[in-house]
Amino acid sequence: MHISAVQFAAATDVDTNLEAIVRLVESAADAGAEMVVLPEAAMHDFGGADLALGPVAQSLDEPFVAALRDLAGRFTLWIVAGMFETSHDRDRPYNTLVAVGPDGDLAASYRKAHLYDSFGYKESDRLLAGEPKAVVLRAGGLSFGLMTCYDLRFPELARALVDAGADVIVVPAAWVRGPLKEDHWETLLRARAIENTAYVVAAAQNGSTYCGRSMVVDPMGVAVAALGDQEGIVTAELVADRISQVRTRNPSLGNRRL
């Protein structure tokens, strides 16, 4: 399967972001992508710490997801994207990933389990955490596990995804810039690939707040395709045989003692 990670800086306006998403998904389709991964909060950026996210949240049957479904059907590809989903708490929505199939159906959704209460920020003041669970979907002969940004720092979630059958870990993110933060991002992406002998596909926001550096990492921890800090698309081929070869050479999953 050919997969594209899309990197852009989301605005605090849904229509503006949808215009960018349509343009970038079309470019990814032209590059041969069968799946397009968009960043965390692609629907609407977090904005300043005082911006209420409840009023901008949408349910999974409202216009943002409907637009993704139309776009996926139009280009006959998969789309994974981050959004704010309404919850029972009107002030604090979920930070949700949606996965839409080439038939235009909503195939899966995942509510971010680990909120970014770290580095002087407190995401839980503005959002609700989802229940920790392994969300895996099947596409193009491979299985894809979903996680979001700060989830990357918790290796047990990545391992749960792989134990649930994931060949590929998909990581939409809005990874905040800061001292050593970019190094953490790249190191953790490679670590999750190496320890799980799985592909990792990371699509990040860029701009003044976020670090960008979207990439595709293979099961040996090699970044086979990557971006810097500019808007763009990175496309790579995911090969099932590569996973099998690496897991034969390095059977660490089978060698575990729990």
Measure the CA angle with vertex 186, ends 184 and 187; round to 5°. 65
Phi, psi of 197 (to 5 degrees): 40, 55
Active site annotation includes 186: no
Per the annotation, the verdict on 40 as an active-site residue is yes
Residues 214-245 have pLDDT tens digits of: 999 999 999 999 999 999 999 999 999 999 99
What's the pLDDT at 258? 85
* Distance from C-alpha of 135 to C-alpha of 106, rounded to nearest angstrom: 13
Summarize pLDDT for 98-136 with one digit per residue, the tens: 999 999 999 999 999 999 999 999 999 999 999 999 999
pTM of structure: 0.97
- pLDDT category, 147, cuts 50, 70, 90? very high
| Of residues 157, 136, 205, 139, the one with CA closest to residue 177 | 205
From 34, 85, 112, 123, active-site residue: 112
Residue of 34, 85, 123, 149 marked active site: 149
Catalytic: 211?
no
**Which residue type sits at 243?**
I
Read off the pLDDT band of 200 (50, 70, 90).
Answer: very high
DSSP string, 25-52: HHHHHHTT-SEEEPPTT-SS---STT--
pLDDT in tens, 3-17: 999 999 999 999 999
Task: Report the percent of the chain where pLDDT is more than 70.
Answer: 100
User: What pLDDT, on a 0 to 100 scale, did the predictor assign at position 183?
Assistant: 97
Phi, psi of 13 (to 5 degrees): -150, 120
Among 40, 85, 123, 211, which one carries the catalytic annotation? Answer: 40
- Looking at residue 2, its pLDDT comes to 98
| Percent of the chain's residues with pLDDT above 90 | 100
Average pLDDT over residues 180-195: 98
